[in-house]
Structure 1
């Protein structure tokens, strides 16, 4: 039980024990002296009693002073060194260790810095080799994308659990007529489930290409399609012929895929699933003010993270007409003017679009209660159930770096080597992108601490819930 407590808490409890033990010993000794003095002058007994009380307070004050010094010069520096080493080891951030803050720890900080530097150099050498191979694969991907664009067939690769694993630019054009295409989204969000399941059952039975008529999940469109098996590989391919679908020929969207999604077990309860395997929608809002009960959203920005990586192109950058003037003080912060939102959709449309975009995902934000308060207020009126699992990067920062550190988005970006271009700071998409990059760096750090599943991470963040209460 004691080993599960943080280092600083264990040190504090040690000094509490030291203080209590000192009080007991001193009081006991003085009590014996008091009993022996009962046979003599009563004034002597009173002196013994006063001495006991005074010594108790004195020992407590001494213990408190020693603990403060120990906490500031030993426990905190050790926590900072540990967090810095984990950041360098698991988030790929080469930041210098603060050796001055750990000056009372002897050679620990310089030794840790030397080890980290050596590991960083080894990692750099490996990264250079990986970068060269990645460049070659990226070139091949570009050629493959160009080739597929010329083929008049839209393609979607689907996992055995009916999640989207790959889609090309032409498929994005087709699916986009229903909902924005998203990796790891259920294909049933786009096509009628009964029709697709029936065709899939025939595919399994016959193990050959199955033609069928597909209809949009909400009746938006219909087209002829084919399901094709992948041989001995899991999953199947959905093909949509150009002749039967309105596919925009100028769709230049690249091939989007993540073959690791084929191996995901999406049927397990979310609390039991690995944090690496979850799909996250990281978002931020800009508003007319800081009062969620009466101010309004003027901009929503969001990106998607799948398999611990930001998915390029899957994002929202939406201005919102707040239905009220934007105060000049707010415009000065986020640079959104009344003219910019004059023709933008109202929150009814923007919130509904974002709700679809976040379907089946864990919602992530920096100080999430603030942003979610706006959405939940309108959700009651629009019939949108914001019942998604939610993770707050403020609390993740407290888990990894300690509650006593600074947990602003700027501080977290500095700590993890994430750069927010000045012109994107305090824009919804810019802050969402930065928060997503921070999340991607923190996921392996959480795993290194032994917090592997979503349930384990949530249990750790609940220990720091007071941080959000103070922020809001």
Structure 2
């Protein structure tokens, strides 16, 4: 029975019992005095009432002092120790709050210091053991990051537990613990999985290829999926894919060109054949009639030439798009030529970048350079890369004998390499939609090869690498009942909004939304949502002074309709978390009809959870919680949607550990704890 009552209530009951017992004792003593000594009963009653009320008042006063200086500090110290034990917080304990408890506060600080030392020793031991794993992890991350194809590893129920940057670029807002069906049309994937299952049942472990479209149908991917098996246990699937949209478009365009040309050629060819038959059969045809047939033949021949003239450029354009063009540095081409044994070669301008088939261009230049080298009268050969508007000119410069264009044409008619079959230097020029020619300059001769310029890849050394994988995702289907699932198995979106004011029902609007994801207990700093929102009304100067968002900043920002849809997609299959969540949700839910989506996800509020976990304190502001858990918020990020969302997420991560220790382990239990504390909101300052 006693375990049902809190410490403060126990002390209150103790002093109440003391006051009640004292009052009974006073009444008993007065009654005994009256029975022995006699006298007016009114005097005894008056004395009893005065003494009783005096005792009750004294007990209440002493009880309040005891509650304020003993019970609350004890609870505060217990909460501090519990938080540090479960959340790993190392901030020093404030001993002033327990200044009347003698040696208890210093003893608690000593325990905290010992706990910190033990944790540091444990972390050191773990760090030594994990150093090797971290090195392997770095190698794995680099390999995954630089793959040219999209790579996704799926759980058995097709949730993402690994992806690389290419996959994110191709599929959009890809994220851990999200269903792959949200990014790919599910039917081809499901059919491929069924085929793979059938093979696996026959003892065949093979990859299955398929063609899939993106969820919005704008892209097509050539993909293959294979099982991940360890100790005969199915751990998931590996999905490798690349964008085949342009390949399919080019194939369709070339097929259409061929069919069109065939149809346009068939009629003139048939007409020419008929005219020739008539001319051959009638050798004595009158001159006027023969002239008419000749004119008809000329007309049909003109049609043929027109068809070929129109189709040729269109085919060349499609072929050049289909050919594997990439950004190539001129220095790489120069090095490749040296590797072919062309040693008497100086090069200049290797920092230029071109969009081309590097291997084919090397083969073409090798044909020309080898042709030049056959004559001993040509010397001082230099290869340059020079920018010209939107092109880079590769120029071969030499002194000595001139090279006529006819000789260059003969060189480029040769195959460039055995690996390319009969593909000649002329084919290379046609495929790149360019030409090569020779020129005479004052200081010698040169051959010019123009290629399309490409920008140098932009590299950012400070770019943070997002969390692309999590192999510890629980094997639980997302469509299970979320209420009874452990909090550790859920995905969360911690979000915040900035607004024009505090009253959504009176016309205030959202000006910024930001959110971050927590999956498997990890804050995924690489999966962030952030956008300004055009509120459609002026932003008051008073609110701009708080969040520093001005009217000029939101002029070109999306409206709440577009921003709300994007944010809703970001929150898919997640529990929403916010500090003072009813405020932020009120703005979103008032716009549900305009957005076209309902924010029906479960919601947790860090204010109410704080009140449930730390009821001895009246401060549940974000700053107070950050201080409690040792979370720092940069001043320039405070009162920005993303800054507050990240700080709330870091606080919520620590709260999850404390909640687990308090027996709040499922979403249902967390929501129940919030409901018990709803009335506290009226008395708190947050």
Q: Same fold (TM over 0.5)?
A: yes
2:569 counterpart residue number:
356
Query: What are the superposed Cα offsets for residues 1-35 of structure 1, whole Å, 9 maximum, x if unpaired?
Result: 5413332233223333444444455556667878x
> Is 1:344 matched up with 2:565?
no
Displacement of 1:444 in angstroms is 1.2
1:240 counterpart residue number:
241
Distance change in 2, residues 1:342/1:210 (3 Å): same
2:64 counterpart residue number:
68
> Is 1:271 matched up with 2:470?
no
Normalising by structure 2, report the TM-score.
0.63
SS of equivalent to 1:226: strand
Query: What are the superposed Cα offsets for residues 65-84 of structure 1, whole Å, 9 maximum, x if unpaired?
Result: 12211111111111111121
What is the alpha-carbon distance in structure 1 between the residues aligned to residue 600 and residue 655 of structure 2?
24
Say whether the 8 Å CA contact 1:145–1:254 is kept in structure 2.
no
SS of equivalent to 1:363: strand
Instruction: Decide which of 440, 443, 465 is 2:678's aligned counterpart.
Output: 465
Displacement of 1:172 in angstroms is 0.6
Instruction: Decide which of 207, 216, 219 is 2:217's aligned counterpart.
Output: 219
Normalising by structure 1, report the TM-score.
0.89
Displacement of 1:167 in angstroms is 0.9
Distance change in 2, residues 1:387/1:255 (3 Å): closer
Distance change in 2, residues 1:192/1:22 (3 Å): farther
Segments of structure 1 that go 5 or more residues without pairing to the other structure are: none
Which residues of 2 match residues 93-172 of structure 1 at below 5 A? 93-131=89-127, 137-172=133-168
Distance change in 2, residues 1:11/1:189 (3 Å): farther
1:198 counterpart residue number:
191
Displacement of 1:244 in angstroms is 5.3
What is the alpha-carbon distance in structure 1 between the residues aligned to residue 563 and residue 633 of structure 2?
25
Segments of structure 2 that go 5 or more residues without pairing to the other structure are: 201-205, 248-325, 328-456
Distance change in 2, residues 1:144/1:430 (3 Å): same
Query: What are the superposed Cα offsets for residues 177-228 of structure 1, whole Å, 9 maximum, x if unpaired?
Result: xxx1121112222223344333323322223322223233343433232221
Instruction: Decide which of 610, 623, 626 is 1:397's aligned counterpart.
Output: 610
What is the alpha-carbon distance in structure 2 between the residues aligned to residue 193 and residue 304 of structure 1?
24
Which residues of 2 match residues 359-374 of structure 1 at below 5 A? 359-374=572-587
Say whether the 8 Å CA contact 1:168–1:255 is kept in structure 2.
no
Instruction: Report the structure number with the largest CA radius of gyration.
Output: 2
2:13 counterpart residue number:
13
SS of equivalent to 1:260: coil
What is the alpha-carbon distance in structure 2 between the residues aligned to residue 96 and residue 275 of structure 1?
29
Say whether the 8 Å CA contact 1:79–1:402 is kept in structure 2.
no
Distance change in 2, residues 1:24/1:348 (3 Å): farther
Say whether the 8 Å CA contact 2:494–2:515 is kept in structure 1.
yes
SS of equivalent to 1:212: strand
Displacement of 1:345 in angstroms is 0.4
How much is the aligned-residue C-alpha RMSD, in angstroms? 2.9
Displacement of 1:366 in angstroms is 0.7
SS of equivalent to 1:450: coil
Distance change in 2, residues 1:454/1:330 (3 Å): same
Say whether the 8 Å CA contact 2:150–2:164 is kept in structure 1.
yes
2:389 counterpart residue number:
none
Displacement of 1:289 in angstroms is 1.0
What is the alpha-carbon distance in structure 1 between the residues aligned to residue 32 and residue 678 of structure 2?
48
Displacement of 1:343 in angstroms is 0.4
- Higher RCO structure, 1 or 2 (CA under 8 Å, sep 6+): 1
SS of equivalent to 2:211: strand
Count of residue pairs the alignment pairs up:
464
SS of equivalent to 1:316: strand
Displacement of 1:46 in angstroms is 3.3
> Is 1:416 matched up with 2:416?
no
Query: What are the superposed Cα offsets for residues 436-472 of structure 1, whole Å, 9 maximum, x if unpaired?
Result: 1111111112212232222222222322212334458
Instruction: Decide which of 596, 599, 603 is 1:386's aligned counterpart.
Output: 599
What is the alpha-carbon distance in structure 2 between the residues aligned to residue 390 and residue 2 of structure 1?
34
